Amino acid sequence: FQMDTTAESYLDVFPLDAIVYLTPDSENVLEDIDPDKVYVLGGLVDESIHKQLTLRRAQEQSLQTARLPIREYMVRAPNPRNYHSETLAINQVFEVLCTYYETRSWPAALRAGVSSGKGYVLPETAEQ
């Protein structure tokens, strides 16, 4: 993958209607990757103290939002801590997106990027 870095804000580099801010709090499910869109992978951890911070930030900037389809393809796994989180690290989101782009399979992508420590597994894994 080719990457360019800049000190400029994504808001100044890309048209607003091309930006999709990925946040686990979005009501919109990412169903496919659009090559004409720019996906913002966050950079903020808003799992506890700053709940919904990324969603609010995107809304304040009038950006489209989406979340990975974790609820649609995965199930909550029983665990001793009763812990379930859809908040992923940037590298995990990147892994999910890359795998989906290559395979066009959300189950394969989520298997690659969502660790079992998040409390979600694919249905066939939960049955084992």
Lowest mean per-residue pLDDT among 5-9, 35-39, 123-127: 123-127
Residue 46 among the catalytic residues: yes
Q: How confident is the model at residue 111 (pLDDT cuts 50, 70, 90)?
A: very high
Q: What is the pLDDT of residue 49?
A: 55
- d(CA 70, CA 115) in angstroms, rounded, equals 12
Q: What is the pLDDT of residue 16?
A: 96
Q: Hey, where are the domains in the chain?
A: 10-121
Q: What is the pLDDT of residue 85?
A: 86
Q: What is the pLDDT of residue 48?
A: 56
Question: Given a cut of 70, is residue 127 above it in pLDDT?
Answer: no
CA-only gyration radius of the chain, Å: 15
Q: How confident is the model at residue 100 (pLDDT cuts 50, 70, 90)?
A: very high
Segment 2-14 mean pLDDT:
89
Question: How do residues 14-66 score in pLDDT, each as one tens digit?
Answer: 999 999 999 999 999 999 999 999 999 876 554 555 678 889 999 999 999 99
Choose, from 32, 34, 36, 46, the residue flagged as catalytic: 46
Spatial CB neighbours of 86, under 8 Å, sequence gap ≥ 6:
24, 67, 68, 70, 71, 118, 120
Q: What are the angstrom distances between the C-alpha of 110 and each of 16, 31, 88, 113?
A: 28, 13, 11, 5
May I ask the CATH class of domain 10-121?
alpha beta
Q: How confident is the model at residue 110 (pLDDT cuts 50, 70, 90)?
A: very high
